[in-house]
Amino acid sequence: MIDQEQVVAKPISPLLAAIVGLCLGIALSLNWYLAGLRTVTVLVDGVSFEHQTRMRTAAEVLAELGIPDECFSLLAPDLQSELAQHTVIELASKEEPTLVPASTIPLPDFSAEYITEQITIPYSVTKKPDSTLDKGTEQIVTPGQEGLLERIRKIVKRDGEVVADVLIMEKVLAEPVDQVVLVGQKEPVKTVATENGTYRYREVKEMLATAYYPGPECTAPYTNGLTAIGLKAGYGIVAVDPRVIPLRSRVYIPGYGIAIAGDVGGAIKGDQVDLCYETLEEAIAFGRQWVKVYILE
């Protein structure tokens, strides 16, 4: 057995004492905060409203609400009695109220109403690439449809001014339907009408055109009548720059017709084309012109 006289009390360290004191203070403050807020009912001539307060007596609550004692008599409880949760403070109008200054705040007029509103929900647009549609075109496959949202709100007013706007319920009446759009990815078919029918082309160029005929006046020293790719020179053969139009390409030139890019020329560079005619006179008559050259598929 330990002799009580042998027990030696060790002093609490200052740091521990400070921590204990801080925790105790927080606990007491929290308890005061939670315990201090109370809801009371104010009943005036049979009309009641609830009021949340930290006041401790009926007199303090009436002063907080700005209710003049010249106009009302307190029936219950006593002015200085401690208020409990849900205490009813009952007032009655005096039969012969005393006139009070105009600056005195009257008894607040509280009212509440429920408002139901419907709000549209916007839909989203989803775009999907489609290889069967031409570029630059779009097709709606699923039309978009807005959704519908219903809200119920409680509006509380004090003397005609809104003091609270509370969302009571929110419900989706109809979900939005997303719009689905197909976006064309296919290169559109390009056609050109000619004297011999309609042809599809992949590109059209503005080019400077000249003319020649397969005689020595135009082709010397190459006078064998053959083109650079071995074709017989004549009407329907044009000379091009292969870097611009590949050799053996079929082309259409308005006013000249369908031709084959079958020859080259030392002076034919870039966007230039040399049209072959059967006679020197035709070549001279053509001269130099700007033409459209359709490169056919």
Which H helix or E strand runs over 208? Answer: strand 197-212
How confident is the model over 39-78, as pLDDT tens digits? 888 777 777 777 777 777 878 877 777 776 666 667 667 7
Question: In this structure, are residues 149 and 118 in contact, taking their beta carbons and an 8 Å threshold?
Answer: yes
Owner of token pair 């925790």: 23
What is the spatial distance between Cα 202 and Cα 225, in angstroms, rounded to a whole number? 31
* Average of per-residue pLDDT across 103-118: 77
Query: What mean pLDDT, rounded, does the chain reach?
Result: 81
Which fold does the domain 111-185 belong to in CATH? Answer: Resuscitation-promoting factor rpfb fold (2.20.230)
In three-state secondary structure terms, 68 is coil
* pLDDT interval class at 33 (50, 70, 90): low
| b/e map 75-104, b = 16+ CB within 10 Å | eebeeeeebeeebebbbeeeeeeeeeeeee
Enumerate the domain spans of the chain.
Answer: 13-96, 111-185, 190-296
Identical topology for domains 13-96 and 190-296: no
* Average of per-residue pLDDT across 91-99: 60
Q: For the domain covering 190-296, report its CATH number.
A: 2.40.40.10
Q: Residue 293 to residues 190, 209, 254, 284: CA-CA distances in angstroms?
A: 14, 9, 8, 20
How confident is the model over 132-158, as pLDDT tens digits? 998 889 999 999 999 999 998 888 888
Asked whether residue 183 carries a pLDDT value surpassing 70, the answer given is: yes
Burial of 246 (0-12, 13-18, 19+ CB in 10 A): exposed
Lateral strand order in the sheet of 161-174: 110-121, 147-158, 161-174
What is the spatial distance between Cα 238 and Cα 261, in angstroms, rounded to a whole number? 5
How confident is the model over 200-218, as pLDDT tens digits? 999 999 999 999 888 777 7
pTM for the predicted model, two decimal places? 0.43
- Predicted pLDDT at 176: 96
For the domain with range 13-96, which CATH number is right: 3.40.800.10, 3.40.50.720, 3.40.1010.20, 3.10.20.30?
3.10.20.30
